[in-house]
Every structure is written in structure tokens, then in C-alpha cells.
């Protein structure tokens, strides 16, 4: 190995060429890598959506959701699923087990399970839709078009816009909201039906059989081999009205229809874009898209089409992820530039300019080399990768500093340059190798953190490990070659170590002389401050101090129509509009459920936090009429994990489940530290139940299915056929006229009995006024009520809240109802387990590495002594800076384990290398001399690491609520590590040597 390094260090031209090549390749990759918010990964969850127009929540639950859930229960790879059944739609969200080796197999099992459900109601005209979530396929932009013109004209422009959006490079999927299907609406008159002795279902069947387009193949025996086709399409309302539905007398459809119109399906929800009723388009990127570039294309398209459409149409943006990515990348870039400048200044101040230049070149070599390798590793340029690059700006020069310092010290001692290079590399090779490996070993376990948060954090250790590899290559090959070339030219290096670090050396000498007091004070501070800080800190998965999204969910009074719900929510939209920090918003207004997503201006551009804004909105919403429930939720970013406190009340009887949910909500409202408590209400809505008179059904030979289908035709209407008009599908819907949708008119509708006679509906049913739930939720197939809340992270955390809930409600009987943790509670527990394993793996790995390096237990323990001091100091720093134990701050602590041992490793290695110089009668002289000889590299590596992190830690170029706490932990941890390495480690090692001398043990 040494001979190889010697050979490589003499290849000066090759070193320069490779250095330049890495920089060029990295710059090229920088221009090609797409920029996104998150890394690319399969989120391991998805949604099954089934549309059943006109069906009630209970109908959806019984005839759609429960059938799909029964099949899902048979799939072993599913961790859990949650469903919602509400008017017209069933939605099932599922999550896969985190240990699944191939999620595509489970997804295919889910598709197969869906296809096995063959008995869905006839009203479910489209098969259930499975949407699999990828990190890159979430909505990145929501745009819309609005106008005061009639809906028909607005829709024509919206269709043009939709087609243009689908052609934009980078857009993978476009989901329209309130883009209603065109329909031929046939409104029948009950009086005419009675007059001609016709039933609704018979007319529906006749239309479906009449509207056909059937290819018969080719007539090969005829000239030109013509195609045979049967064309009987009813492609306009005149043909439809003239259609014969009876003979003797001749009866046409227009004779029994009060109106046949060319219209659109009934609106199920209204789109809202910045307060305007709009047709919305939810845009998703494809896998290779650059979000910033795609967003710019969409905005250019909107601007050009707005000019094309004219002043009567408004095209706007309700949400644009590119704004947040741009803001975060600006923060990362600005902090990176400031950190880089500070590192360069430190290198220039501490090192000869010839040496400082090549050490500084290590930064772009390692960073750009890493970028050049990212595509080969299947990665893109996301915000977390950029932050990881900033995190290591100061770290990657450490090895170059250690190698160059050793070479310079040998040159200062009078060795020839070529010999100094050779001997310097040889002297530090084991320590540098162990140092790089120890840092890698700390980061490697982070590659295996569970859940989507682990998938997001995956790129951080990956980026650091790749950069460390380039740092190792640079330190042992490029730096020696560059220094051998540079030092051979110009004036000789003058030894100035004593002058530059005299104060530090004198201070260390004085402290080491009083080592008993130093060790006692350090031990007390470590235990005391560490324990105190840990007890004061709470764990919050993703803090909301940098949040830029607020999600609002509303349940309006169930009896309101869609138009009334829209009018009722205008006060809420005005609240958004009058908030200065709101940049844009979009929403979907339905009945009874509505939601909005509000984008705030970047956190560095506003004075109030999302928590402050929500507190103001909550107070204002209390005075708004027409709302059964309003829930405000702050999206802290990162992985989608739900509200901080999210508890499901599952199973049992309806009475027991409701009582437990009520008691739980009261408990959370009184619990210190929780806020914005929410409980699913799903207020009952009025319902008229058609109670079947079974004796008469049996007498006339009429089935319950006939009666139910007739009522569905009459009130909601039913799609019975379709045509393609050359551009899109047009559906045929049959029903009654609006003014005929009364109980009196329904009573007069006829049903065909088994003997062919007509029976009025009034003989078969009785009307009963009841109520029904507006929405029904399930958890793994059982009915559930969700109770959730936010919390004040300075007071408590999700785990503490759930432990208190469990302690309070365990042993109480609520008719079988039970509590199940969800959201951040579940993710936090999973993350804590993952972190515990990662810390153990890192510690064990580093310990084994040190044992291999030193082959001694005492020296290994000496190096590891720095870890508890560093962790205790990091906890105290978080406490002082009013931070919480977040996901990324703990990642910082795990990374810190590897970084902290580097300096102490190099120091102990130096002691071992010079142990022959030990005067057994004066151990302290040996310790002090050895420590002072390592002051310059230890101080320099620490300072470069810290100044590289200071801008990110304190937001000098903009604050990031995820990466800043991590930088804070690593930066201050390195400072504490330096102090421990220069004071505590030497003092302890002096006692170890004295003990070995006293008992004549091998040194």
C-alpha cells in the first residue's frame, strides 16, 4: 500500500489532470441533474378510489368499500388501510409493510384483489382506480381557469388548457377538478309514463339497445374488401327525441320526456383557486422532471393562453412546489457560499498560501466529484442532497489538513520535500484511513432507517459517504502530489507553530497540570447538563417552525346544497385573502366535506410562523356560521406523517366508540401541551328511507332490486349509454324532471310486475324520515373515529401524549372499542427504534474498527471517551437554542459519533507512534508535548468544520427548519469534541500510562 501511495504521489501531472477532470465532470452533472424537493423513492402507499354517483355514505360503505376491504384483508404485504365512505365516492388509503423486498408484487396483488370484486353496483360505471404514490408523483403544481361566463364556455377553454398541459415536458399526470363530463340528460315526466304505461327502466334499456356502433368485419368477396359496420348512434338530441320507444300507438322519446338537453353531469364539488370558482388541474411530474424547469414552462403556458383566451378568462396558480424548492435551494446555496468563504478564510489564515490553495481545491474536487457520481447511483439533485453537501464542506478538508500538516511538520523539521511527502503520508495513513472509516461507519446505519422519513434521509448518508471517498482519494493522492510540486518551488517554509499557537499551548499546559480538577468539572458538566437537557427536550418528528403549508378541512352542515356550501365558505376564503402571509391557495368545496391548501410566503420573508397564523384563523372561524367542524393542520414538510397526535378509536359498538372518542377529545383538550383538538363528527344528515312492504313485493313478484333501481333512476339519474363525439365521451343519463322529484310524484311511478302489469310504487313502499352519517370511516375494515391534535413541542411530544392516553384509558370498557396510534405517534416510535439500532450499529462498528487499529482495549476506550461528552454537549446546545429532538437533529447526533472520534483517534495514534520517547518518570511532559504537537491540525480541522456549518446552523443565508438543527448539533459537537480531545483525553491517558508504569504493564 505504501509503495502504491508513494508512486501515486509522484504523479504530479496525473494528479492535476484528474483534479481538473473531476471538477469538469461535476460541473457537467450539475447542469444535467434535475432539481426536486425530495429524493426519488416509492412511498409504499396508495389509494383506491371508486366513484358511485348519487349513492349515500351507508350505501357506499355496504356495497363498495366493504367488498374491496374484504379482498385487501387477504393481502399479507399490507400494513394497514383506512377508508372513507361518503356521498358518491369510496376512498381507501393503504400502507405497505416497511420490510417488503419488492413492493411491485404487493401492488399487483392489490390490483388482482380489486379485479376479484365483480359484484359492485351497476351505478359504478368505472372500475376502482388504484393510484400508487411516488415521491416525485405527488402534486407539484395546481393551476386553474375561471370566468364569469357560462360553464359550457369555461369548460371549452379548460379542455384546451388541459390538452396543452399534458403536452408540457416533465408533466406525467393531470388530474382535473370540476371538469364535468358532457351528458345527454333525458328528463322523463311521470304523468306521461303513466299515460303510455311505460317504466323508467324499460326506456333506459331501449335507449341502451338503440345506441350502438358495431363493426361486422370485412366483406372479402366484394370489390375493394369493404368494411361492414352497423351505425345506430344517437349523436344529437334531435335523434334522441325522435327515437321510437313504442308502437300502436307510435311513441317517441320526446313524448314522455319533459326535456332532453345537451348538458354536463351534476357538479360534485367546486374548485376554488385564490377565492375564485375555477376548474382546477392538479399536476404531477414524471420521474425525470426538473420541477423548477417544468414549473417555468407551465407558467409560460398560462401566460400565453391567458392572452389567447382574452380578458374574460383568468388563469392562475394555486400551488407551486417550485417556489418552496427555489426558496430552499437559495437557502442551501447562500449558506453554502458563506460557509465555503469562511472555510477558505480559515485555511488562508492558518496555512501557507501554497498549501492553503491545494487544500481549498479539495472542496470543489470532493463536492463536484460527488455530484458527478450521483446519476450513476440513481439519485437526483434534491434539497436534502444539497444540504448534505453543505454539511460536509468543512469535514472533507479534514483529511487534507491532517496529511498536509504532517508533511509540513516534517519539512519544518528539516526533511527533504520528497522524503517529507513520503514519510508524512506513511505516518498518517492508518489514522486517516481509520478516521474516514469511522465517519462512514457512523453514517452507514442511516441508510437503513425505516419509513418514508428514512427514504428521505437516505441521500444524506449516501452523499456524505461518497464525498468521504473522494476526500480520502484527494488527501492521499492529490494533496501529496500537489504539495510536492508546490513546495519544490518558491521559498522554504518557516516553522511558526510555536508563535501562532502559543496562547493555546500555554492554556492546555496549565489545564493539564490541574487535570484532577479538569476531569472532575468535565464529568459533572457532562452528566449534569446532559441529563438536564435530555429531560427538558421533547421529540417532534418534523417541527413546524419552517412550515409553509396550511391545510384546512371543513364539514359544512349536511343539509346544505353545493351552491349553499360554496356561499357558506366564502367567509373562510376571505380570511385567507386578508392574511398578508398567504401567497396562494386552492381548494375543493363539496358537501359536506371541503378542503383547502394554503401556501405561505417563505419563512424568511415573514414575521409570523404558521402556528401564529393558524391561531388567528381558529379564533376567527369560531364566529363563522354554517360549519359543523373546521380543522387547521400545519404541514411541517418532510415525509407525510399526519398530525403530531393522531389516535384512532376502532371497533366496538357505535355507542362505545362514540363515548371513548368523546372522552379522549376531552382528555386531550385538558392535557398540557396539546392544542387544536379535533374529533371526527360527520354530523348526521336527513334521509328519507323507502321501507319495502315485502308482502306486496312477493304478491306482485317485484324484487327489492327493481324498486331500488327505479328510485335511483328517478332521483339521481343513471348513466345508461355513451358515444364518442370525436373529442371525448358523451354519456346518456336518464331521470325525472327536477320539479317531479317529490315523494308524491315518486309514489305514482310504476314498476313492472311478474305478470306484466304495472304496479304503482305507493303500493310497495312507505316513506320514513330518518338520518344517516354523512361520512363513514374504517380502519382495517372496522369502523373508526379519528381524534387528533397539534401540540407545543416545548412542552410535550407525541409519544408522551400517547403514553398518558394509554395509561388513562387502559382497563376501561367501552363496549370493545380500542385505541390505535397513527400519524406521528406511529412514525415517531418507528423512527426511535430505527435510531436506537443505528446508534448501536455505529458505536459497535467504530469500536471494532478502533480495536483493529490499536489492538488495545484501553486506547480504544480512550478514543470513545469523546462520544458521551459530545452527545451531552449537543443535547445542551439544542436546549439552549430552544430546539426539539427532531428527526434531523438526531441524524446529526449519529453522524457526530463518527466525526467526534477523528481528532481523538489521531491524537491517541500520535501518542502510540511516539511512545518510545516516553520518560517514565515524567509522564505529563510526554502528554503535554504530544498534545501540543497536535494542536494545529486538531484546531484547524475543527474550525474548518464549524465555520462550514455556522451559516446553515444559524441561517445566515436563510433558515431551514430541518437542516439547521442538524448543522447546529454537528457544529457545536465538533467544538466540544475538540475541547475533550485536547484536555480530557490527554488527562485520562496520562492516568492510564501512569497506572501501566506503576503496575509494570506493557505500554
Q: Check which CATH number belongs to the domain holding 997 and give it.
A: 1.20.1640.10
Element (H, E) at 214: strand 212-218
pLDDT bucket at 182, cuts 50 / 70 / 90 = very high
The answer to whether residues 445 and 532 belong to one domain is no
Residue 232 pairs with which residues in a beta bridge? 212
Quick check: 361 and 20 in contact, CB under 8 A?
A: no
The whole-angstrom separation of Cα 987 and Cα 362 is: 34
Q: What is the pLDDT of residue 4?
A: 56
Do 522 and 491 share a structural domain?
no
Answer yes or no: do 998 and 860 share one domain.
Answer: yes
Q: Which of 10-14, 186-190, 726-730 has the lowest mean pLDDT?
A: 10-14
- Contact in structure between 339 and 393 (CB atoms under 8 Å): yes
Other beta carbons within 10 angstroms of residue 767's beta carbon come to 12
Q: Residues of the chain with pLDDT > 90: what percent?
A: 28
Residue 469 falls within a domain, yes or no? Answer: yes
Let me know if residue 967 belongs to a domain: yes
The pTM score is 0.84
Q: How confident is the model at residue 552 (pLDDT cuts 50, 70, 90)?
A: very high
What are 505-513's contacts with CB under 8 Å, separation 24+?
A: 505/932, 505/935, 508/928, 508/931, 508/932, 508/935, 508/982, 508/983, 508/986, 509/928, 509/932, 511/983, 512/924, 512/927, 512/928, 512/931, 512/983, 512/986, 512/987, 512/990, 513/924
Does 401 share its domain with 453?
yes
| Distance, CA of 795 to CA of 537 (rounded, Å) | 8
pLDDT tens per residue, range 644-693: 888 999 998 989 999 999 999 999 999 998 888 888 876 677 888 889 99
Within-domain flag for 744: yes
Give yes or no for residue 797 having a pLDDT over 90. Answer: no
Specify whether the CB–CB gap between 629 and 589 falls below 8 A. no
pLDDT at 494: 54
Residue 52: partners with Cβ closer than 8 Å, 6 or more residues away: 59, 60, 63, 64, 88, 89, 90, 120, 121, 123, 124
In tens, the pLDDT along 589-628 reads 988 889 999 999 988 788 888 888 998 998 898 888 888 8
Q: Which long-range contacts (CB under 8 A, 24 or more apart) does 620-627 make?
A: 620/575, 621/572, 621/575, 624/571, 624/572, 625/568, 626/556, 626/557, 626/560, 626/568, 627/554, 627/555, 627/556, 627/557, 627/568, 627/572
Kindly report, residue by residue over 330-377, the tens digit of the pLDDT. 887 788 788 878 888 888 777 777 787 888 888 888 889 999 998 888
Q: Is residue 182 part of a domain?
A: no
Q: Are 577 and 621 in contact (CB under 8 A)?
A: no
Confidence at residue 43, expressed as pLDDT on a 0 to 100 scale: 84
541 close to 452: Cβ distance less than 8 angstroms: no
Report the C-alpha dihedral over residues 404, 410, 414, 417, rounded to 10 degrees. Answer: -50
- According to DSSP, the β-strands at 276-285 and 270-273 are antiparallel
pLDDT in tens, 939-989: 888 888 888 888 888 888 777 777 788 888 888 888 888 888 888 989 888
Domain-terminating residue out of 439, 469, 498: 498
φ, ψ for residue 268 (rounded to 5)?
A: -100, -25
Q: Do 8 and 58 share a domain, yes or no?
A: no
Q: Among 768, 557, 795, which Cα is nearest to 683's?
A: 557
Banded model confidence at residue 9, pLDDT cuts 50, 70, 90: low
Residue 235, domain member (yes or no): yes
Residue identified by cell 491540525 is: 937
Q: How far is 425 from 412, CA to CA, in rounded Å?
A: 16
**Judging by DSSP bridges, how do beta strands 775-779 and 78-86 pair with one another?**
antiparallel
Which DSSP string do the residues of 274-303 spell out, in sequence order?
A: TTEEEEEEEEEE-TT--HHHHHHHHHHHHH
Q: Are 176 and 330 in contact (CB under 8 A)?
A: no
CB atoms within 10 A of CB 884: 18
Rounded-to-integer distance, Cα 198 and Cα 206, Å: 11
Same domain, 926 and 880: yes
Q: Which of 470, 498, 526 is the last residue of a domain?
A: 498
| CATH classification at residue 74 | 3.30.70.1430
Number of separate helices (H) and strands (E) present in the chain: 38, 32
Q: Looking at the domain assignment, is residue 963 inside a domain? A: yes
Higher pLDDT, 544 or 461: 461
Query: Which pLDDT band holds residue 47 (cuts at 50, 70, 90)?
Result: very high
Q: Across 745-880, where does the E strand assignment appear?
A: 750-752, 758-760, 765-773, 775-779, 782-791, 818-822
For 771-780, how does the pLDDT look when each residue is reduced to its tens digit (9 = 90+)? 777 788 999 9
Domain count, the chain: 4
CA distance 452 to 812: 35
Q: How confident is the model at residue 931 (pLDDT cuts 50, 70, 90)?
A: confident
Which of 117-126, 157-166, 239-248, 967-976 is the most confident on average? 157-166
Phi/psi for 885 (5° steps) reads -80, 90
Residue whose entry in the numeric block shows the C-alpha cell 376512498: 91
Round to whole Å and give the CA distance between 941 and 901.
13
Whole-number pLDDT of residue 91: 94
CB-count burial class (<10 Å; 0-12, 13-18, 19+) for 91: middle
Is 994 part of a structural domain of the chain? yes
Half-sphere exposure of 101 (CA within 13 A, CB side): 0
Instruction: Give the whole-angstrom CA distance, residue 321 versus residue 599.
Output: 9
Query: What mean pLDDT do residues 766-771 have?
Result: 88
Query: pLDDT tier at 11 (50, 70, 90 boundaries)?
Result: low
Q: For helices 963-979 and 383-391, give the axis angle rounded to 10 degrees.
A: 10
* Residue 158 located in a structural domain: no
Where is 325: in which H helix or E strand? helix 321-350
How far apart are alpha carbons 41 and 543 in whole angstroms?
A: 23
DSSP state string for 355-377: HHHHHHHHHHHHHHHHHHHTGGG
Q: Is pLDDT at 12 greater than 80 in this prediction?
A: no
Residues contacting residue 141 through CB under 8 Å, at least 6 positions apart: 283, 294, 295, 298, 317, 319, 320, 321, 322
Predicted pLDDT at 732 = 93
Q: Are residues 705 and 716 in the same domain?
A: yes
Shared domain check, 359 and 494: yes
**Residues 997, 864 share a domain:** yes
| Same domain for 117 and 204 | no
- Joined together, the cell numbers standing for residue 75 give 393481502
CATH number of the domain at 224, please.
Answer: 3.30.2090.10
Contact 452, 640 (CB under 8 A): yes
- Mind listing the pLDDT tens digit for each residue in 834-873? 888 888 888 898 899 889 888 888 889 888 888 888 889 8
- The residues facing 588 across adjacent strands are 271, 595
215 & 84 share domain: no
Q: Residues 516, 492: one domain?
A: no
pLDDT tens digits along 389-414: 877 877 788 788 888 878 888 887 77
CB 189 within 8 A of CB 200: no
pLDDT of 82 reads: 92
Grid coordinates in use for 801?
Answer: 401524549
Strand partners, 46: 94, 132
The pLDDT of residue 497: 47
Is the separation of the CB atoms in 970 and 391 below 8 Å? yes
**Domain hosting residue 421, numbered range:** 1-32+351-498
The pLDDT score that the predictor gives to residue 143 is: 96
φ, ψ of residue 285 to 5 degrees: the values are: -85, 160
End-to-end CA distance of the chain: 28
Give the domain-ending residue among 472, 498, 524: 498
pLDDT in tens, 746-762: 898 899 999 889 999 99
* Whole-angstrom distance, CA of residue 646 vs CA of residue 825: 7
- What pLDDT, on the 0 to 100 scale, is given for residue 911? 87
Please answer whether residues 644 and 784 qualify as being in contact, where contact means their C-beta atoms are separated by less than 8 angstroms: no
Is the pLDDT score of 446 beyond 90? no
Cell of 283: 399536476
> What is d(CA 602, CA 599) in angstroms, rounded to the nearest whole number?
9
> How much of the chain is helix, strand and coil, in % rounded to 5?
55, 20, 25
The closest alpha carbon to 867, from 992, 964, 984, 963, belongs to 984
Using one digit for the tens of pLDDT, what is the confidence trace for 275-325? 999 999 999 988 888 888 999 999 999 999 999 999 999 999 999 988 888
Burial class (CB in 10 A: 0-12, 13-18, 19+), 161: buried
176/965 Cα distance (integer angstroms): 39
Amino acid at each position: 500500500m505504501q509503495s502504491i501511495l508513494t508512486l501515486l504521489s509522484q504523479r504530479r501531472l496525473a494528479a492535476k489532470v484528474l483534479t481538473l477532470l473531476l471538477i469538469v465532470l461535476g460541473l457537467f452533472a450539475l447542469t444535467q441533474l434535475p432539481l426536486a424537493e425530495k429524493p426519488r423513492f416509492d412511498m409504499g402507499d396508495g389509494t383506491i378510489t371508486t366513484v358511485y354517483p348519487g349513492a349515500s355514505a351507508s350505501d357506499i360503505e355496504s356495497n363498495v368499500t366493504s367488498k374491496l376491504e374484504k379482498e385487501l384483508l387477504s393481502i399479507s404485504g399490507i400494513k394497514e388501510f383506512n377508508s372513507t365512505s361518503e356521498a358518491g365516492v369510496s376512498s381507501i388509503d393503504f400502507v405497505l409493510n416497511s420490510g417488503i423486498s419488492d413492493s411491485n408484487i404487493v401492488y399487483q396483488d392489490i390490483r388482482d384483489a380489486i379485479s376479484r370484486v365483480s359484484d359492485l353496483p351497476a351505478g359504478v360505471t368505472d372500475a376502482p382506480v388504484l393510484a400508487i404514490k411516488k415521491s416525485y408523483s405527488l402534486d407539484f403544481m395546481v393551476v386553474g381557469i375561471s370566468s364569469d361566463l357560462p360553464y359550457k364556455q369555461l369548460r371549452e377553454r379548460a379542455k384546451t388548457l388541459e390538452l396543452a398541459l399534458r403536452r408540457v415536458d416533465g408533466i406525467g399526470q393531470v388530474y382535473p377538478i370540476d371538469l364535468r363530463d358532457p351528458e345527454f340528460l333525458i328528463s322523463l315526466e311521470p304523468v306521461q309514463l303513466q299515460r303510455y304505461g311505460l317504466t323508467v327502466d324499460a326506456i333506459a334499456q331501449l335507449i341502451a339497445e338503440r345506441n350502438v356502433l358495431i363493426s361486422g368485419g370485412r366483406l372479402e368477396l366484394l370489390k375493394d374488401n369493404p368494411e361492414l359496420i352497423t351505425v345506430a348512434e344517437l349523436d344529437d338530441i334531435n335523434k334522441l327525441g325522435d327515437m321510437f320507444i313504442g308502437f300502436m300507438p307510435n311513441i317517441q322519446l320526446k313524448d314522455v320526456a319533459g326535456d332532453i338537453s345537451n348538458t354536463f353531469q351534476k357538479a360534485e364539488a367546486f374548485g376554488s383557486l385564490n377565492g375564485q370558482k375555477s376548474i382546477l388541474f392538479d399536476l404531477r411530474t414524471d420521474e425525470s422532471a426538473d420541477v423548477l424547469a417544468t414549473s417555468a414552462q407551465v407558467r409560460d403556458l398560462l401566460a400565453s393562453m391567458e392572452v389567447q383566451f382574452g380578458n374574460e378568462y383568468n388563469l392562475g396558480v394555486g400551488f407551486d412546489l417550485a417556489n418552496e424548492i427555489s426558496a430552499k435551494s437559495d437557502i442551501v446555496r447562500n449558506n453554502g457560499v458563506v460557509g465555503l468563504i469562511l472555510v477558505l478564510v480559515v485555511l488562508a489564515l492558518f496555512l501557507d498560501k501554497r498549501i492553503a490553495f491545494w487544500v481549498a481545491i479539495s472542496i470543489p474536487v470532493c463536492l463536484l466529484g460527488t455530484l458527478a457520481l450521483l446519476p450513476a447511483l440513481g439519485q437526483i439533485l434534491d434539497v436534502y442532497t444539497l444540504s448534505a453537501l453543505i454539511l460536509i464542506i468543512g469535514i472533507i478538508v479534514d483529511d487534507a489538513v491532517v496529511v498536509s500538516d504532517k508533511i509540513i511538520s516534517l519539512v519544518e523539521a528539516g526533511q527533504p520535500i520528497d522524503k517529507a511527502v513520503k514519510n508524512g503520508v506513511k505516518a498518517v495513513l492508518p489514522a486517516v484511513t481509520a478516521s474516514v472509516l469511522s465517519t462512514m461507519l457512523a453514517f452507514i446505519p442511516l441508510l437503513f432507517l425505516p419509513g418514508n422519513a428514512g427514504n428521505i434521509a437516505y441521500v444524506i448518508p449516501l452523499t456524505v459517504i461518497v464525498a468521504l471517498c473522494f476526500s480520502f482519494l484527494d488527501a492521499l493522492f492529490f494533496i501529496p502530489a500537489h504539495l510536492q510540486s508546490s513546495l519544490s518551488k518558491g521559498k522554504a517554509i518557516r516553522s511558526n507553530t510555536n508563535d501562532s499557537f502559543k496562547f493555546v499551548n500555554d492554556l492546555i499546559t496549565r489545564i493539564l497540570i490541574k487535570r484532577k480538577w479538569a476531569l472532575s468539572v468535565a464529568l459533572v458538566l457532562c452528566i449534569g447538563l446532559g441529563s438536564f437537557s435530555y429531560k427538558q427536550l421533547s421529540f417532534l418528528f418534523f417541527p413546524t417552525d419552517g412550515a409553509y403549508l396550511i391545510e384546512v378541512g371543513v364539514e359544512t352542515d349536511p343539509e346544505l346544497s353545493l351552491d349553499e356550501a360554496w356561499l357558506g365558505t366564502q367567509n373562510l376564503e376571505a380570511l385567507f385573502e386578508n392574511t398578508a402571509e398567504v401567497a396562494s391557495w386552492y381548494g375543493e368545496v363539496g358537501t359536506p366535506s371541503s378542503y383547502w391548501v394554503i401556501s405561505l410566503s417563505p419563512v424568511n420573508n415573514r414575521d409570523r410562523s404558521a402556528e401564529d397564523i393558524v391561531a388567528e384563523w381558529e379564533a376567527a372561524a369560531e364566529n363563522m356560521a354554517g360549519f359543523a367542524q373546521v380543522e387547521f393542520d400545519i404541514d411541517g414538510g418532510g415525509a407525510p406523517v399526519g398530525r403530531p397526535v393522531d389516535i384512532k378509536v376502532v371497533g366496538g359498538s357505535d355507542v362505545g366508540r362514540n363515548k371513548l372518542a368523546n372522552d379522549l377529545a376531552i382528555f386531550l383538550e385538558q392535557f398540557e401541551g396539546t392544542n387544536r383538538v379535533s374529533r371526527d363528527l360527520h354530523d348526521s344528515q336527513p334521509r328519507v328511507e323507502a321501507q319495502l312492504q315485502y308482502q306486496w313485493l312477493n304478491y306482485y313478484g317485484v324484487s327489492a332490486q327493481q324498486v331500488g333501481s327505479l328510485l335511483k333512476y328517478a332521483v339521481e339519474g343513471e348513466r345508461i349509454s355513451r358515444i364518442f363525439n370525436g373529442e371525448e365521451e358523451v354519456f346518456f343519463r336518464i331521470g325525472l324532471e327536477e320539479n317531479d322529484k317529490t315523494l308524491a310524484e315518486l309514489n305514482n311511478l310504476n314498476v313492472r310486475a311478474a305478470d306484466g302489469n304495472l304496479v304503482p310504487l305507493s303500493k310497495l313502499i312507505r316513506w320514513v324520515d330518518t338520518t344517516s352519517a354523512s361520512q363513514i370511516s374504517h380502519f382495517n375494515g372496522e369502523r373508526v373515529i379519528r381524534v387528533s391534535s397539534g401540540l407545543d413541542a416545548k412542552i410535550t411530544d407525541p409519544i408522551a401524549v400517547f403514553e398518558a392516553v394509554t395509561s388513562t384509558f387502559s382497563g376501561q370498557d367501552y363496549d370493545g372499542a380500542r385505541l390505535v396510534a397513527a400519524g406521528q405517534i406511529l412514525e415517531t416510535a418507528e423512527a426511535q427504534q430505527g435510531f436506537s439500532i443505528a446508534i448501536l450499529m455505529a458505536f459497535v462498528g467504530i469500536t471494532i474498527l478502533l480495536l483493529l487499529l490499536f489492538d488495545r482495549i484501553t486506547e480504544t476506550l480512550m478514543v470513545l471517551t469523546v462520544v458521551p461528552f459530545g452527545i451531552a454537549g449537543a443535547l445542551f446546545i439544542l436546549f439552549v437554542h430552544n430546539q426539539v429532538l427532531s428527526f434531523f437533529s438526531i441524524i446529526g447526533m449519529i453522524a457526530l459519533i463518527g466525526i467526534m472520534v477523528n481528532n481523538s483517534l489521531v491524537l491517541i495514534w500520535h501518542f502510540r507512534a511516539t511512545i518510545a520517547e516516553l520518560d517514565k518518570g515524567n509522564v505529563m511532559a510526554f502528554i503535554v508535548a504530544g498534545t501540543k504537537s497536535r494542536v494545529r491540525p486538531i484546531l484547524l480541522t475543527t474550525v474548518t468544520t464549524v465555520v462550514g456549518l455556522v451559516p446553515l446552523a444559524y441561517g445566515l443565508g436563510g433558515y431551514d427548519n430541518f437542516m439547521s438543527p442538524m448543522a447546529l448539533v454537528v457544529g457545536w459537537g465538533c467544538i466540544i469534541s475538540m475541547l475533550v480531545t485536547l484536555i480530557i483525553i490527554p488527562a485520562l491517558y496520562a492516568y492510564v500510562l501512569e497506572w501501566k508504569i506503576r503496575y509494570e504493564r506493557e505500554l
